[in-house]
Structure 1
């Protein structure tokens, strides 16, 4: 649709979902082209059109709902779509309502989409390092279970995020992770400049597996390294760019066709 590029995970093949790249939108300048971030400072009309194109490419006719992301572990349960101006502060959301798309935006953080197809329950989480260590995926799974999902039936996919090779950190950064579990040392390696690097994708995947999720797919796509396809906060910062766009990732429960 209009050149929109939708990346799909094998684990979620039977569920309407998509990790959108930056291609196929109408935004211009530093945030060209499919910028879907409501808080990015972009033209609101362009953002609205981009979000409309993205939603139509994933689940035509569905209503898109997101949250006001604050790098928290908070997850909310959606019973009916809320207007963009009334988005609750949270970093994950779940639903069992057909015809709704859950959307989260990222620009280096890990987008996580989850589904228990048999229960008809889906979830979406924005997992930056703060939310990840705070348990945003654990709370998302708990909210899905409250709607009837079962951990062993839940499948999850981690979309485009900053890769370990691109994620240089301060020497003190690993401390809370190591305090949580000494085994978390495996997610940190020494970089070429003598500073540690963090594997956010692997850490999030490990949290999902530890929660008993039946299948976890890490797509291995580096937002920082591929500026043609992905927005990146860190890349924009390093380049001194005036703004950065937001990628959107979505998942929904398909509307059952009417019985004949």
Structure 2
């Protein structure tokens, strides 16, 4: 009997069907063993089955909708589900349509799920450092507002991502953030000469707070450090592994 899909939830999003999924409960094998949802590295049949299992674990019968993620700040409004080969190049999705399951793929980047329970509007964003820095969460909130959401009523939760203790960056990376705002210094901890440790989760959460939404929460799960539970691009790179897989975060309206 296969192990169940691992679904992490948060009470701030309790009004919507949602889940931050890891690698448990899937059919992929080898270095991708588990619930890999990326078609780029795996047998398409295995990935399709993993995506089916993921959707059924969160909102059975819903239509899964994903975008072609490119580390951009762009958010797209979903009015009708599209074919997988017609995915728009973007890194966030919003909708007010029930029965549509928004999906974001990650493997160290921060997935963010949004819900305005009063307006009946949801969102999902892929916030790697580049997308977060250039405003993907801000654009997600704006797209939700265009559907009738109100900032004070939006709850957002930052899901599993690489933690500061696992995320070493060079001084050029740090300088980019400090030049944008002096207060960004708080998201860096000094490391070896010419390097620092970056708090992606904290930075994304602060961007959400600065946008003025009602509730901001973090799961505090480190993808890099939990090999049995999550895929990690950086961990796989450090080990020179041939692939790294992706986990998925999902939200939908019943």
Please say if residues 105 and 248 of structure 1, whose CA atoms lie closer than 8 Å, have aligned partners that are also in contact. yes
| Alignment correspondent of 1:84 | 84
Please say if residues 74 and 91 of structure 1, whose CA atoms lie closer than 8 Å, have aligned partners that are also in contact. yes
Q: What is the CA–CA distance in structure 2 between the aligned matches of 1:194 and 1:138, rounded to whole Å?
A: 31
| Alignment correspondent of 1:257 | none
Q: What SS is found at the alignment partner of 1:48?
A: helix
Q: What SS is found at the alignment partner of 1:82?
A: coil
Please say if residues 2 and 53 of structure 1, whose CA atoms lie closer than 8 Å, have aligned partners that are also in contact. no
Please say if residues 3 and 24 of structure 2, whose CA atoms lie closer than 8 Å, have aligned partners that are also in contact. no
Q: How does 1:68-147 map to 2 (within 5 A)?
A: 68-147=68-147
Question: Are residue 213 (structure 1) and residue 242 (structure 2) matched?
Answer: no
After superposing the two structures, state which structure 1 stretch, 190-199 or 101-110, moved more.
Answer: 190-199
Any unmatched runs of 5+ in structure 2?
Answer: none
Deviations 1:187-209 (A, max 9, x none): 00013677201000000000000
| Alignment correspondent of 1:7 | 8
Q: What is the CA–CA distance in structure 2 between the aligned matches of 1:239 and 1:245, rounded to whole Å?
A: 14
Q: What is the CA–CA distance in structure 2 between the aligned matches of 1:80 and 1:8, rounded to whole Å?
A: 26
Q: How does 1:187-226 map to 2 (within 5 A)?
A: 187-191=187-191, 195-226=195-226
Q: What is the CA–CA distance in structure 2 between the aligned matches of 1:239 and 1:191, rounded to whole Å?
A: 21
Q: How does 1:144-159 map to 2 (within 5 A)?
A: 144-159=144-159
Question: Are residue 36 (structure 1) and residue 37 (structure 2) matched?
Answer: yes
Q: How does 1:18-57 map to 2 (within 5 A)?
A: 18-39=19-40, 41-57=41-57
- Alignment coverage as a number of residue pairs: 253
Shift of 1:45: 0.4
Q: How does 1:240-259 map to 2 (within 5 A)?
A: 240-254=240-254
The TM-score with structure 2 as length reference comes to 0.97
Please say if residues 111 and 159 of structure 2, whose CA atoms lie closer than 8 Å, have aligned partners that are also in contact. yes
Q: What is the CA–CA distance in structure 2 between the aligned matches of 1:216 and 1:9, rounded to whole Å?
A: 11
* Regions of 4+ moved over 2 Å: 191-195
| Alignment correspondent of 1:173 | 173
Shift of 1:239: 0.6
Q: What is the CA–CA distance in structure 2 between the aligned matches of 1:194 and 1:92, rounded to whole Å?
A: 33
Deviations 1:43-66 (A, max 9, x none): 000000000000000001100000
The TM-score with structure 1 as length reference comes to 0.95
Q: What SS is found at the alignment partner of 2:173?
A: coil
Any unmatched runs of 5+ in structure 1?
Answer: 255-260
Q: 1:194 to 1:165 in 2, by over 3 A?
A: farther
